[in-house]
Chain A
Amino acid sequence: MAKLVTAVIKPFKLEDVKGALSALGIAGLTVSEVQGYGRQKGHTEVYRGAEYQVDFVPKVRVEVVVDDLDAAKVVDALVAAARTGKIGDGKVWVTSVDEVIRVRTGERGLDAL
């Protein structure tokens, strides 16, 4: 069946990730603007006497549903494209998908990808 690959990455890495995935023949992906924190945590900044609480770090969330067989390749490409080697590069995780349906045609399963 299919896998859902979800990645939370640095915003400026989106173009690279898009390029890497389309090189693998991935036709579509979903992108959303998200905020959160991981090991970076929130931090406090002081500028011109005023304190700014930076609770969440802006990230981009990329979601793509792929054939089971392609999942490992996609994850590798994604990780390689999103990496800067610094803190806050993000996470990628893979979940199993029970069913996929293309809304327009009603096709199901791998045909709907």
Chain B
Amino acid sequence: MPSDRHNGSLNGPAGSSDPAGRQAPDARAPFGPSGPPPRAQLSDALDRWLAGLLPPVAGVALVAVGSLGRREVVAHSDVDLVLLHTGHPRISEIAESVWYPVWDSPVGLDHAVRTVDEAVAVARSDVKAALGLLDARYVAGDRALADELAAAVRAAWRASPAGWLGELRELTEARWRTAGELAFLLEPDLKEARGGIRDAVTLRALAYAQLVDAPRGSVRDAYRLLLDTRDALHRTSDRALDRLLLAEQDAVAAALNYSDADALLHDVADASRTIAYATDTAWRQVDGLLSKRRRWPIRRRSTVNRRPLADGVVEQNGEVVLARGVDPALDPVLPVRFAAAAAVADIPPGRSSLERLAVAAPPLPDVWPESALQSLVALLGAGEPAISVWEACDRHGLVEKWLPEWGRVRSLPQRNALHRYTVDRHLVAAAVAAAPLARRVARPDLLLIGALLHDIGKGLPGDHSEVGAGIAGRIAVRLGLSADDTDGIVRLVRYHLLLADTATRRDLDDPATLEVVAEAVRHDGVLLDVLHALTESDAAATGPAAWSGWKAGLVSDLVRRVHVLLGQGSPPTPRPRPAEVFAAAAALPGPGECAVTVHGDEVAVIGGVGVEHLISRTAGICALHRLDVYAADVGTFDGHPVVVVRAAPRFGRLPDPALLTADLRRAVAGNYDVSTALSRREAEAREGPAPAPPQISWLPDASTDATVLELRAGDRRGLLHDVTAALEESGASIRGARISTFGSAVVDAFYLIGGGLERDEIGKAVLAAAAT
């Protein structure tokens, strides 16, 4: 305040009214026509003022650390000062002559009085203090002493990174957990959130230790924008506020000459993404460097461990990279398969591979092949790891190649008190929240895609549900969904708010209310379950205020009542036999033998009359040939058991049909122990986060005499073999089956016949087989 004896004003050139620097500069000066005073100017004015406070005594120096040390003071910043000395007897008196005027001014103070050795010792034991001291800068007094401190702290920092890296990383991750991600929050903390100011400062600290290159170019620009925004926020709110609250956004945007707050938030989000990405890359470089250093004395060359994850995709030294010899230009599905493999294995995607994919991969065709859709569903179904993989892909422009519509929702703010995230992050978060609900629905693929697209209409004029339904429908066609499933996606997007709205605002006792919902899901119980799960995922991704046990209870009640209205429906029926099977059946195999036809990705096996274990052995042989079975149908033809599987090779091409046929014949004849061979393969099984536990349910099927067992489980190698073997061992006879894979989830319906089926026993055996 002007009345304060140590205070002055900083309107106009810094400190110009007070060249002697006897008054504290007013860091709160409002914006003039030319904007805020530059940070360096404000820092210089503070320097001059503080220098005037230090009495001229030998062996004493005043050193600025933290933001003043970096000459990046913004309005309402505290100043961090260290009074250095060499053991002066009257140091307390000297300190008070500096601190008291600062305490009496509006400038906040963080202070310490130390010798160089003491300061270095503090830096060694306390990472936070070290981060500030790395920016130590001479302000007044004995310059040699200040320089000695700066050199000693940086030397100690460089000498033993192992001593502080672990703690710095823990601090950083704890901060991210508390403050969240700047780019995706509607009211982000500019300083503490991931991708914020503190991360940029941490990057510099890593560069001081010569572990990574100093931030430059886009990262420096991004950092400057965040500092400008924080400066403006401090000034417009007239306090040291680091959270860019909705109420302040308009004023800050105006102060920074933005057309509106959305434009500001868009740029802030972009800047923080740049910093977050540089931070991730830097930490990965640090990890790589440290692991190499550790290995150095043992072997001169670092070992390269490669582990195959998917066709053309391997893990190498903690990153997912393209396999050697893979040409991305030849495979349009590779980018989405690469992303899915990274998310499912929960391993970060390598930057150079992403760059290669971004440049070289051809666009996906107008209608995606099924393998691309499966990969997208697997990526979304991977849960939490999908977020960082999606973000990495988006940074390299891959997401927009898959979904050109994504550009419009990227970093799109939403003015809604319930929402925490920007639209793009909300959509990915909804899909992540849907992943654990996959077992609750018979169509996890529709749930995940619906979750990813449910708000795709936001940012366009009109009701976002209606607008979004049209967009989602076009996307569904492109993804290669059937007409029926496309209609399902359109309805999910169109009605994604219907259940919550109806449950809380309509009379559930009124049959008309239930009819509206039944109509919306086209009287389809499967789609109703998907819409229910989507409602919950949407709410979970919105924010803590959007969902409660109260609302969940009402919505569940509504869904239950609509199910009663719809009736139980019928379980999925086995698909009709393809013509090729019947063609092959012209030469039906004799007892104990089998006939095999391989047609594209379809393998049909017909057993001789009385052949047993045909399903599990076929599934086992497929797994041994590294074929991922994504659909299977089982039935009988003229008394002969028939198994038709559709399978995708995990790595590269389909196996030689002759080899596959020979193995299948041996297995059916009982000359090949499939179970033992499979368990040997377990060792190389894919690692990753454990999927949600399997679930079974018994569905009545009024149309036939069969009992239908439905299994919902996470997919893995050999799953179909293990489950069908368990069924066969428990004495159940599998009359038919319909196996469906949705990314990394399977929904299998087995039609069981046989008198006196022990449901409990069979259920337990199947669950145990599916879980292992």
- Which positions in A face B, CB cutoff 8 Å? 10-12, 14-15, 33-35, 45, 47-50, 52, 54, 56-58, 84, 86
A42 to B550, CA, bound (A): 15
Q: Say yes or no: B506 contacts A33, CB within 8 Å.
A: no
B125 within 8 A of A: no
Which chain A positions have C-beta within 8 A of B688? none
Q: Say yes or no: B550 contacts A58, CB within 8 Å.
A: yes
B296 within 8 A of A: no
B160 within 8 A of A: no
A48 and B699 in contact (CB under 8 A), knowing A11-B505, A15-B505, A33-B550?
yes
Contact of B509 among A45, A49, A57, A84 (CB under 8 A): A84
Q: Say yes or no: B697 contacts A58, CB within 8 Å.
A: no
Closest beta carbon of chain B to A64's beta carbon, Å: 20
Which chain B positions have C-beta within 8 A of A33? 548, 550-551
**What 0/1 readout, one digit per residue, does chain B (487-529) give for beta carbons within 8 Å of chain A?**
0000000000000000111111100000000000000000000
Which chain B positions have C-beta within 8 A of A11? 503-505, 554
Q: Say yes or no: B550 contacts A84, CB within 8 Å.
A: no
Contacts of B54-79 to chain A: CB distance below 8 A: none
**What 0/1 readout, one digit per residue, does chain B (559-576) give for beta carbons within 8 Å of chain A?**
010010000100000000
Contact of A35 among B549, B556, B560, B699 (CB under 8 A): B549
A86 and B549 in contact (CB under 8 A), knowing A48-B568, A49-B698, A54-B557?
no
Q: Say yes or no: A34 contacts B697, CB within 8 Å.
A: no
Which chain B positions have C-beta within 8 A of A34? 550
A48 to B699, CA, bound (A): 7
Which chain B positions have C-beta within 8 A of A58? 550-551, 553-554, 557
A84 and B507 in contact (CB under 8 A), knowing A33-B550, A49-B697?
yes
Which chain B positions have C-beta within 8 A of A10? 507
Given contact pairs A11-B554, A35-B550, A49-B697, a sample of 8 additional A-B residue pairs in the complex whose CB atoms are under 8 Å apart: A12-B504, A12-B506, A47-B560, A47-B563, A52-B560, A58-B550, A58-B557, A84-B509
Which chain A positions have C-beta within 8 A of B509? 84, 86
Closest beta carbon of chain B to A6's beta carbon, Å: 17
Closest beta carbon of chain A to B757's beta carbon, Å: 14
Please name 21 pairs of A and B residues whose Cβ atoms are closer than 8 Å in the assembled complex, sorted by A.
A11-B505, A12-B504, A12-B506, A12-B507, A12-B508, A14-B505, A15-B505, A33-B548, A34-B550, A35-B549, A35-B553, A48-B568, A49-B699, A52-B560, A54-B557, A57-B553, A58-B550, A58-B553, A58-B554, A58-B557, A86-B509
Contacts of B76-133 to chain A: CB distance below 8 A: none
A56 to B552, CA, bound (A): 12
Closest beta carbon of chain A to B718's beta carbon, Å: 28
A10 to B548, CA, bound (A): 17
Closest beta carbon of chain B to A70's beta carbon, Å: 28
Which chain B positions have C-beta within 8 A of A12? 504-508
A11 to B697, CA, bound (A): 33
Q: Say yes or no: A56 contacts B504, CB within 8 Å.
A: no
Which chain A positions have C-beta within 8 A of B503? 11
Which chain B positions have C-beta within 8 A of A84? 507, 509
Q: Say yes or no: B697 contacts A48, CB within 8 Å.
A: yes
Which chain A positions have C-beta within 8 A of B504? 11-12
Closest beta carbon of chain A to B30's beta carbon, Å: 29
CB closest residue in chain A, given B698: A49
- Which positions in B face A, CB cutoff 8 Å? 503-509, 548-551, 553-554, 556-557, 560, 563, 568, 697-699
Of A49, A52, A56, A86, most buried by chain B (CB within 10 Å of CB) is: A49
Closest beta carbon of chain B to A86's beta carbon, Å: 6
Which chain B positions have C-beta within 8 A of A35? 549-550, 553
A70 to B549, CA, bound (A): 35
A108 to B167, CA, bound (A): 56
CB closest residue in chain B, given A15: B505
A50 to B505, CA, bound (A): 28
Which chain B positions have C-beta within 8 A of A57? 553
CB closest residue in chain B, given A50: B697
A48 to B504, CA, bound (A): 25
Closest beta carbon of chain B to A103's beta carbon, Å: 21
Which chain B positions have C-beta within 8 A of A15? 505
A12 to B504, CA, bound (A): 6
Closest beta carbon of chain A to B569's beta carbon, Å: 10
A14 to B501, CA, bound (A): 13
Which chain A positions have C-beta within 8 A of B698? 49
Q: Which 8 A-B pairs have the closest CB atoms?
A: A33-B550, A58-B553, A58-B554, A58-B550, A11-B504, A12-B505, A12-B506, A12-B507
CB closest residue in chain A, given B695: A50
Closest beta carbon of chain B to A25's beta carbon, Å: 25
Which chain B positions have C-beta within 8 A of A54? 553, 557
A15 to B507, CA, bound (A): 12
A49 to B553, CA, bound (A): 19
A48 to B571, CA, bound (A): 11
A45 to B556, CA, bound (A): 11
Which chain A positions have C-beta within 8 A of B550? 33-35, 58
A34 to B699, CA, bound (A): 35
CB closest residue in chain A, given B509: A86
CB closest residue in chain A, given B569: A48
Closest beta carbon of chain B to A17's beta carbon, Å: 13
CB closest residue in chain B, given A86: B509
CB closest residue in chain A, given B568: A48
A15 to B506, CA, bound (A): 10
Q: Say yes or no: B560 contacts A45, CB within 8 Å.
A: yes
Closest beta carbon of chain B to A85's beta carbon, Å: 10
Which chain A positions have C-beta within 8 A of B560? 45, 47, 52
A50 to B551, CA, bound (A): 21
A64 to B509, CA, bound (A): 27
Which chain A positions have C-beta within 8 A of B505? 11-12, 14-15
A58 to B560, CA, bound (A): 15
A57 to B550, CA, bound (A): 9
Which chain A positions have C-beta within 8 A of B697? 48-50
Closest beta carbon of chain A to B553's beta carbon, Å: 5
A34 to B551, CA, bound (A): 10
Which chain B positions have C-beta within 8 A of A14? 505
Which chain A positions have C-beta within 8 A of B557? 54, 58
